[in-house]
Structure 1
């Protein structure tokens, strides 16, 4: 075998998915995430939001991807308060850990305008809010969401703010 073949084989092995062949796990890391169980309120995310979030990241000390989300609001049609938000997205925590922000004030530089615009179209012009969920001293989650037909839909991203 030539050294080129050996190097190509090495590169193929290095680029393999380390989780190949293993069953997928639910996200579970304490107060952040779904506590190891799938939320019964999660629903199919609209394709428009999936496409808009592709290759987009929230810029912080750890650039994390925007993840499209959709949750059932039940009979609610308005954006939830802090306490109800935690219940809907199935996250343990205190309402004191949640701040509600206006998207215009939150995104002063317009970095996330494409996501906001797509969410506005998908939600047919309904109000949009940003929920900032404090996970610990340096970790937070940003939830950019709106409502449509009894659903809370939008995006979430993890951030490190030191």
Structure 2
């Protein structure tokens, strides 16, 4: 009995030994752990460069397109502008009126010297003048006597006439109840329409 058991154990050990030598070896995966490893949050140089280039493009685009605030295309005639300028060095006759000359309407407003670039040898038409002052206004051309029927502003007309090489005209630019009167003449040497303007409210 014991002999049979011994033989059985010997046979079993042989089988196990044979299996261990013939079984395929399993490869273990080795995991490399780096202590205190950190993930960098600093943008790569090429990303920063790309952002800078995009910002420069936006700045250039704004410069190219935001500069045209006059509403006049570059191809427009040279005599056209839509920015009436306050004349800093008006003709002495205009300057002599001072800053206390007022026009009476629903409100009282002071006259102020004004000039607009204009290279033609005659004063602008109503449509041309509307273009000069930026459009959006209905412009009517008046004779000084039509504008000042009582002669209240004869000194203003005379001052502009002294600064002008042509007959004085009055341009009435209206937007709703708001009106601007331009009492102007022509200074061909300076290439300007010159004179006085005043705001009015006419209900």
TM-score, normalised by the number of residues in structure 1? 0.66
Q: Deviations over 1:49-77 (max 9, x none)?
A: 23324211110001011111011102x02
Higher relative contact order (CA 8 A, sep 6+): 1
2:199 to 138, 149, 158: 158
**Match of residue 149, structure 2, among 108, 111, 120:** 108
Residues 152 and 62 of structure 1, relative CA distance in 2, 3 Å threshold: same
Q: TM-score, normalised by structure 2?
A: 0.54
- Per residue, is there more helix in 1 or in 2? 2
The number of aligned residues is 121
- Which position in structure 2 is the counterpart of 1:30? none
Q: Contact between 1:44 and 1:70, CA under 8 Å: does it hold in 2?
A: no
In structure 2, stretches of 5+ residues that fail to align are: 1-69, 72-80
Q: Going by fraction, where is strand more abundant, 1 or 2?
A: 1
* 2:90 match: 46
Q: 1:144: Cα distance to partner?
A: 0.5
Which residue number corresponds to residue 92 of structure 1? 135
1:92 Cα deviation from its structure 2 partner: 2.5
Aligned residues of 1:79 and 1:152 also touching (Cα < 8 A): yes
Give the CA deviation at 1:155: 0.8
Distance change in 2, residues 1:102/1:161 (3 Å): same
Determine the structure 1 residue equivalent to 2:15.
none
How far residue 47 of structure 1 moved from its aligned partner, in angstroms, is 4.0
Residues 56 and 98 of structure 1, relative CA distance in 2, 3 Å threshold: same
Task: List runs of 5+ in structure 1 lacking aligned partners.
Answer: 1-33
RMSD: 2.4
Paired residue for 1:59? 104
